[in-house]
Chains A and B, each alone.
Chain A
Amino acid sequence: MKSIPKKYQVIFAALILVLTTLPAGAAAENVRTSYLYSLSDFSGVVPYGWVNVFPDNKMGEIYVTDVADNSVRIFNQEGMEIYSFGDDGSLGIIYDVTLDNKGNILVLSYDYHSKYSVLLANFRAELLSKIDIKNLPAGFEKEFRPTEILYRDGHIYLVDKGSMRVVLTDSKGLFEKSYDLFSVLKLEGKKRYDIEISGFSIDKDGNMLFTVPVIFKAFRYSPDGKLAAFGQRGGAPGKFNVISGIAEDDKGNLYVADVLKSAVLVFDKDLKFVTQFSQRGLDPGDLVAPKEIAYQNGKLYVTQSMNRGVSVFGINYE
């Protein structure tokens, strides 16, 4: 039998290599979604506009921060409000909250002179102490205005979406590292404040997930500096209009809210498009300009405009 020429062997081997290393999207589980309910109190659906949502995975609760009425409301797993704080102004003007590993609440707030603070409060939201952010590099004191806070593995992340900068501190507020995501994206010649981040979160591996709507891209940026971009402008399923919130589920799927499409797009862990769900409309399960999203225990929380509240979708896999 005549042997296969060596050059074809090489091509064949390369083909196998390519096929075996392709993204596993085709084999990825299908993601099924269903609208469950909207976050409510005893008066009915809380008519939220765009708000921040933070999932407390340990307790299964959801924290919703509404800077407009300076409130933080906590909802249980069934979507009912169980506690609220902030509206007395004692913690300043609250922009975002998160929890540390002891269950204490970290509050990112501003005073009436536009100066931000990180406050530590107990589970009742009683102030314990102020966490001074120390040793910030030059330039950060003046132009750094974070509006999002996250806590992960003993580190505090402060995110200034406008300037596209992230500051990492230890749990006591001592500066550790900063990330200039504007520079990471190499958008030379462009105006920093014309770009901005819209959605930001941290995945379970410590990667930063963020969206930049004006370039129609979402990104995953690893702590060691590896950048992966995904998304493409367009109206077809899987393409981006103006995107915003981004979150990861337990299986590594990524969810991206698209404000203009009024839909949520799902990508697998290899950043391959899986599906998208919902559409603009006024019926339950429809969305109007979805903005922020958060995942927790098989549920996706989606904020939207038109005072339609926070819609909760169930996530299932096939």
Chain B
Amino acid sequence: MKGLKASLVIIAVAVLAMGFAGSAYAYHDGGVAYCEGCHTMHNSLKNTAVSTTGGAVQFNGHNYLLKGSDQSSTCLNCHASNTSFSGYHILSSTGTPAAGFVPGDMTPGGDFSWLKLTTSATASYGAPVSNPGNFHGHNIVAADFGLTAQTAYTTAPGGVYPVGNLYCSSCHDPHGKYRINNAYQSVVSAIGQNVGPIIGSGSYGTELPTTNGNGGAGESVGVYRLLAGVGYLPDSVSGITGAQFVNQSPFAFAPSTYNRSEATTDTRVAYGSGMSEWCANCHTQIHNPNYPTVLEHPTGNDAAASLDNPDSNGVTIAQKYNAYVYSGNLTNTQATSYTSMVPYEENLALNQTNYAALATRAVNDGSQLSGPVQGSNANVMCLSCHRAHASAWPQSTRWNTSSAEFLTLGGIYPGIDAATTEAQGGQYNMGYTTAQVQRSFYDRPSTVYATYQRSLCNKCHAKD
């Protein structure tokens, strides 16, 4: 009997082990997921079997044998949810949202649902205020989820990337070929190269490349958010001259829990270097002084964008960032000055030391509040002002830079339902409710700002 019990225990353990064997605990694990997760193998659209006769009838499915109507729809099959706020979701409205819908996802990149929200209002001085949804971010095409191409442009502003081909895979390499090797270099899997396998995500700084493995190449980790690097050219734009990426994947880390309210603590993404340069893969000419004007804001790992640059009085941008609390209050210190509403880049090149250092600052518990270090040449970047996916505001800015100077009025957020006539002014709320406006600030209470808070441009410029 005792033997039987022991056998049953062994069998139970074996069955349990079989049940979980081979399970991938995170879908991508820093690199390419399993093929069948995105592509149909033997049967395709309408369950039609792959033809044995070859020819055009062989592939009866969607493009690239995807399991969605298009590339983004395939991604959103998992990355969209209207019943779960947290985790890896970046679209909270899978249908058509009604006016007043409050997007639920608060990832650093933003919720693509904002693209579906078009509002309008009347300013307190009588002028109409328009707020078209298709200007709220990157208009990825995802037919299964009601996301359509930008209609105002034909190509990416400042570039040649066609808007009709903008998918998640335009930025994120779904095949995860880009990686950080054990010498802490950005490398890509290519013919003739031995770059080692990817053993984990490169988005959090918790997984490290190793010297293990065959052939001396060691083991790599993925790049931040699978963002593609040099040479990337999705098949859907393979014929477009100039669409191929020329800049490397950015060096950055996020905390592992990042889709969350920031009502009490910030979600701090630690940006090291290369973010703006990476954006320039598609928005190339935005950095060109001839496009479309010569008034472009400096950005990136360039001396012009350094926070160490002083104004005419010798006060640097970093000093202003570190002193700024809110409009009229410049009493903060470097130790507590960080805000994820205006993130910056630390100007840290990818290497082993910086990898570890940067990872310590990617937190969501409020334990890392230090601002830019004077003399470090920390820099402004595209994401200092814009959200990568979408925001509530035109041009995907993190706050309203379009129609009014005040972000709060009399201590409250503006809104069409605001408690005061002043805050109901359409130039301030752009047709949103107070709940939507507060959500655009990731649920921060209005009390973290001045009673009449002006643009957060002032976090760096302190003109208010």
Contact = CB atoms under 8 A, between A and B. Distances in A.
Q: Is B a genuine binding partner of A?
A: yes
Interface of A: 47-52, 66-71, 87, 89, 93, 95-96, 112-114, 145, 147-148, 161-163, 187, 190-198, 213-217, 229-230, 233-235, 241-242, 259-262, 279-281, 283, 286, 288-289, 292, 305-307
Nearest to A191: B256
Given A50-B80, A68-B82, A196-B86, A215 B23 contact: yes
B214 interface: no
B42 A235 contact: yes
A213 B78 contact: yes
B67 interface: yes
Contacts of A281: 45-47
A260 B77 contact: yes
B87 A50 contact: no
Given A242-B78, A279-B46, A280-B46, A69 B98 contact: yes
Given A49-B94, A114-B261, A280-B45, 8 more contacts: A50-B80, A51-B82, A67-B82, A68-B96, A95-B83, A112-B438, A213-B78, A241-B36
B84 interface: yes
A185 B392 CA distance: 38
A68 B144 contact: no
Contact of B101 (A68, A194, A288): A68
Contacts of B143: 306
Interface in B18-37: 19-20, 22-27, 34, 36-37
- State the majority secondary structure of interface residues on A: loop
A217 B82 CA distance: 21
27 contacts: A49-B145, A50-B83, A50-B94, A50-B95, A51-B82, A67-B83, A68-B82, A93-B102, A112-B438, A113-B435, A114-B261, A147-B85, A162-B85, A162-B86, A190-B25, A191-B26, A191-B257, A192-B257, A194-B256, A214-B27, A217-B23, A233-B23, A233-B24, A261-B67, A279-B43, A286-B46, A305-B73
A66 B76 CA distance: 18
Interface of B: 16, 19-20, 22-27, 34, 36-38, 40-47, 67-69, 73, 76-78, 80-88, 93-98, 100-102, 104, 143-146, 256-257, 259, 261, 263, 433-435, 438, 443
Contacts of A162: 84-87, 259
A96 B83 CA distance: 9
Contacts, number: 173
A112 B67 contact: no
B146 A260 contact: no
Contacts of B146: 49, 307
Given A192-B257, A307-B146, A259 B96 contact: no
A267 to B, nearest CB: 14
A49, A68, A89 — which one has the most chain B CB atoms within 10 A of its CB?
Answer: A68
Contact of A307 (B44, B95, B261, B438): B95
B34 A147 contact: no
Residue among B40, B87, B93, B100 with most chain A CB within 10 A: B87
